[in-house]
Structure 1
Amino acid sequence: MEPAAAKFIGAGIACIGMGGAAIGVAFIFGNYLAAAIRNPSAAQGQFGNLIFGFAVTEALGIFSLLVALLLLFVPL
């Protein structure tokens, strides 16, 4: 296999992490919304946890994007 082809395959595999982060963010916000509908008085108390979970999940997606870009643009 040529090194250029391996770089593209590796970058594509690294981008799977961005899809996982999108699913994670949707899961976090969906569960928060469901809980806020059940108990609106407790929703404000859980907002900090929502933002922290969003930040950590989104950071993992950004890290996978960084790995993909490094694989594509750093010379062998």
Structure 2
Amino acid sequence: MEVEAAKLIGAGIACIALVGAGLGIGNIFGNYLAGALRNPSAAPGQFPNLLLGFALAEATGLFGLLVALIILFVF
């Protein structure tokens, strides 16, 4: 019984990474949009950086989700 509660608490703590990923992705796209509206000619040059930042932020969230699922179903 205590082990099951510890698993659920650990998985919940691991899911905090999803909150960070959501905030990071929102920050990345918001700043890109603000910069693109200020200087539309520079926006296409920064688009690859936008995608790289999105991928790295999303990977952080996916790793946190993977850790939570491992905690729940493996241990």
Task: Report the counterpart of residue 12 of structure 1 in structure 2.
Answer: 12
Tell me the distance in 2 between the aligned counterparts of 1:46 and 1:10. Answer: 38
Gaps spanning 5+ residues in structure 2: where? none
TM superposition shift of 1:28: 0.1
What CA distance in whole angstroms lies between the structure 2 residues aligned with 1:73 and 1:19?
A: 22
Percent identity of paired positions between Structure 1 and Structure 2: 67
Structure 1 residue 25 displacement after superposition: 0.1
Q: Do structure 1's residue 56 and structure 2's residue 63 form an aligned pair?
A: no
Distance 2:33 2:56 in 1: 19
User: Counterpart in 2 of 1:70?
Assistant: 70
1:3 is displaced (CA, Å) by: 0.8
Q: Distance in 1 between matches of 2:13 and 2:64?
A: 9
Please state whether the residue corresponding to 2:42 is helix, strand or coil.
Answer: helix
- Give TM-score, length-normalised by structure 2: 0.97
CA RMSD of aligned residues (A): 1.0
Structure 1: segments with no counterpart, 5+ residues: none
